[in-house]
């Protein structure tokens, strides 16, 4: 699967096993240590849901990624952060990451739009897309089409998180 339709010449495709180390470096550079996914968790998510672990590429170079899994609930929980249920009704986004030197150029927004279109066209029986984010990122996600649900019950690191969703039904 490869998607190529963006004003920034970004394409999204499934990452390869060989890119996990680069993905882990980007993840570690983007989140505090108590929030970043471990190498093992990224490997698990890639193995279990490769069609929801998409790299963002510009001119053939990996500039970011979105990592997600499916879950049976309609709300993001601590449990949903640590498992994948292949026929789950919700897609739970765990990471939206852009390389530090490529940030603030609209890449994350374009990746999100492409990812959402991919979920709509490729993921059967999905009723919604869920994520949690810090308050400063709420505007990014609302521009991509997400609605703010409210403060999340998930505790992950020291700062509060906010849940957002897109309903697909």
Query: Does the structural domain 2-127 have CATH classification 3.40.630.30?
Result: yes
Whether the full predicted model's pTM is greater than 0.75, yes or no, is yes
What is the rounded CA–CA span in Å between residue 167 and residue 123? 14
Give the chain's largest Cα–Cα span.
Answer: 39
Residue 7's pLDDT band (boundaries 50, 70, 90)? low
Tokens for 72?
């049976």
pLDDT digits (tens, 9 = 90+) for 59-111: 999 999 999 999 987 776 666 777 787 889 999 999 999 999 999 889 999 99
pLDDT band at 159 (very low <50, low <70, confident <90, very high): confident
Mean pLDDT of 37-54: 95
Q: What is the mean pLDDT of the chain?
A: 89
How far, CA to CA in Å, does 72 sit from each of 49, 95, 125, 157?
Answer: 14, 19, 11, 24
In terms of Cα–Cα distance, which of 165, 141, 162 is closest to 152? 162
Half-sphere exposure of 87 (CA within 13 A, CB side): 0
């Amino acid at each position: 699967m490869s998607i190529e339709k963006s004003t920034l010449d970004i394409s999204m495709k499934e990452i390869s096993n060989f890119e996990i180390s680069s993905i882990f470096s980007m993840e570690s550079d983007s989140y505090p240590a108590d929030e970043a996914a471990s190498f093992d968790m990224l490997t698990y998510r890639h193995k279990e849901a490769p069609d929801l672990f998409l790299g963002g590429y510009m001119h053939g170079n990996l500039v970011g990624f979105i990592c997600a899994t499916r879950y049976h609930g309609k709300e993001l929980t601590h449990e949903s952060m640590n498992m994948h249920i292949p026929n789950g009704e919700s897609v739970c986004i765990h990471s939206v990451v852009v390389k530090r030197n490529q940030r603030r150029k609209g890449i994350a927004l374009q990746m999100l739009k492409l990812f959402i279109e991919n979920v709509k066209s490729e993921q059967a029986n999905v009723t919604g897309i869920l994520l949690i984010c810090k308050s400063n990122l709420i505007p990014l996600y609302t521009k991509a089409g997400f609605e703010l649900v409210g403060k999340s019950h998930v505790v992950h690191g020291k700062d509060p998180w906010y849940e957002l969703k897109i309903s697909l039904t």
